[in-house]
Structure 1
Amino acid sequence: MVNENNKKDLIFIGLNIVVITLLHYFTTAAKWDIHDFYRRLYYIPIIVSAYKFRLKGGIFASLIVFLFYAPHMLIYFRDINMASLNQILEIVMFVVIGTITGFLAESDFKKKLMLRIQIKKITHLENYTQNILNSITNGLISVDRELKVKSINKEGKELFNLDERYLGKKLDKLFVECKKVEKDLIDILEENKKMLNIETKCKGKHGNTLDVKLLVYPLKNTTEKIEGLVLVIEDISEIKKLENQVRRADKLSAVGELASGVAHEIRNPLGIIKTISQTINEDIKDDNIEEEEIKEGMDIIIHEIDRANSVIKGLLDFAKPSVCQIKVQSIDKLLKDIVLITNKYAKQQNVRINYSCKEDKNILIDGEKLKQAFVNIIFNSVHAMQSGGNLNISLCIQKDWVKISFEDEGIGIPKDKLEKIFEPFYTTKDIGTGLGLSITHRIIEEHKGYINVESEVGKGTKLDIYIPDKNEKGDEKIEKDINCR
């Protein structure tokens, strides 16, 4: 099709040059004024050629005109005079006009070509970007500074059952807590910050409520000026359902383990009490029992009742609400008091407690509860060293944490059992309820700390307790942070 158009243009230009040239040759010299008119007609094919074929066309057409028109000058102008000089200058003008027009046409063609290339690139980039946005499995919405929707990807349209008619409208039809979300978005615009992993609720396409995770980023232009926001919306409804199911299953499992532990711990003393009671009762019937035997049996019953009571007391200590006594205390003094209290008991078991402090720190804590936690750890360590040994306790400061380490030379804990040592009623000892370390773990968590355990069978166990380095000046909200359950 292009070649056909070029052919028609060439025919038109060629016919124009031929017709104008014939008019010159078949018009007498006497009518020279008409020759001036004919000569100016040559500009038509020259300009058309320059427009159609650019620089090459303009130069080529002007040279053809020169070749066709030059013989006419030789025929009618034998002498060189002012008239012939004007004719020569006119021919030069043909070439100049053809060259200039062709150059301008060539320049305009290149600009249009570059413009078409740029438009093609921009269109391709826009389509590619849109394909990327539509391929994202999360809803993606962009809003301007007035929180009006500017664009929404395919997943977002399907998630909320929207179409192009929603563009330019606000977000009140999307979010259940619309006012709260809008307030957060305005804060992000004003403070130029990100908002990540905010969980909220949206209105689904079937009128249902969806649990979503919202990520918001400032939308900036090339000059770093904020023009709006980008909202990434992830549907986490199914994840929430699974989390609730897992949480429910964990609760049922915990209740089952707790019931099993309580039953196991209380059944043994109850069985002993029942056996002793039956024996005493039969002996009384047979009148075959002495006062000492009755007293011995009653002592056993009281001991077993105390044992069952200790299980119930430990369970209540683990579960009941406790009263916080938060104040700034020296952690070094607290540990020294604990060592003083437990040292006599440790010596009876041939265990030597070694305490070292690299740096003391006054922190905001509940001293009595931490004392209970540390005593539980010390007793566990002492029980683990049946043949005696050393229990090394150390205190140091690591950045924003106070680290208290308890390292014994006991029997150690197998790796497959390390994760269970903080579970209620789990114990590797022949005696005890298995609630000591559970209570310790809860107390450390209440202080926003954590416990790291390392153990090797036959060599010993090391517990590192990390408590945040908080004081009155460092954190005025520490009393709210410590969760007194």
Structure 2
Amino acid sequence: MKNSPRLRLLTIVALVLLVTSMHYLTTTHRHEYHDIYRRLYYIPIVLGGMWYALRGGLLTSMTVSILYIPHVLIQWSHHPQIRLEQYLEILLYNLIGLLTGYLTSKKNEQQDRYQQTAEQLRESYSELKNKADQILEIEEQLRRADRLSALGELSAGMAHEIRNPLGSIRGTAEIIQEGMDPSDRRYEFSRIMIQEVDRLNRVVQDFLDFARPAPIDRDRVDVNAVLADILVLVRQKATTAGIDITFPVEGHLYVYGKEEHLKQAFLNLTLNALQAMPEGGTLDIRTGRSGAEIEIRFSDTGAGIPSENLDKIFNPFFTTREKGTGLGLAISARIIQGHGGRITVDSQPGTGTTFTLCLPAMDGQE
């Protein structure tokens, strides 16, 4: 209320009326008082120019002139010399109103230009910041692509060479195991050997998944149907671990891609969520259409991911689990990107983690 236009207007009107009344109520014999009153008129005139720019300054000075002229004509008619001085004072009122209003108008225009320039600078800064973030993201994707490319070349060269001796080792261990009594300690050693060979074979398979080229023959894939198939596979594992899985299916959501590869990506994220809740919890899977994209969210109530690891979880071989290979999330990210989509993560330590997948939607969704 302090700087409201109504209060300012009332202040100017009150000052003009006050000074005018003092002029008319004071006799001309007290000319020294009238000299003071004439100067007091400058206060509302200057305030009008400062608060309402050129229009306010001129209107106030003209109002003062109109109210003051009858006083000059009537009460000072017998003092021609003093009356001439007062006419000059009236002229000064209007000059001061014009000058104060003009300067204020120029100041306001300059201030508006400064504000527009500041707004343009803020927009430019925001745009540059967004572009810088995009450049950093692209650089990170390029670095990740280089790592994946090197891993693919390494995988293609080594996978077949490693798998052959692994098959021989496993076969030999099975032959040795068949000729032993289960109570023999060497029987247990052979069983451990077979398990470790199987684990190494899975690692090699992960290498081959990276080396595998992007799918060329793509079809219409129902995301909800693929997720429903995956949940059939992991339902028993989740029940045993005390994990409740919610998946409210609504209609069909179609993308253009390779069903086998998308199933692998979804399965990796589902298993990753289950492994994050060894003491039980809830996995909530949601799908929906957002503009031209299909969104799939995997939200768990696990321990969460520390903030310093969020930028690393999609890197090959990065893992915080003792028996993890660090390739599951990297493979999922590679598959989603190969389908023209993106994958993001939001995690709060102690609360849980949400992976969001965005894939281009097919036209003509049901």
TM-score, with length taken from structure 2: 0.50
Which protein is richer in helix relative to its size? 2
Give the structure with higher Rg (CA).
Answer: 1
Relative contact order, CA 8 A, sep 6+: which one is greater?
2
Which protein is richer in strand relative to its size? 1
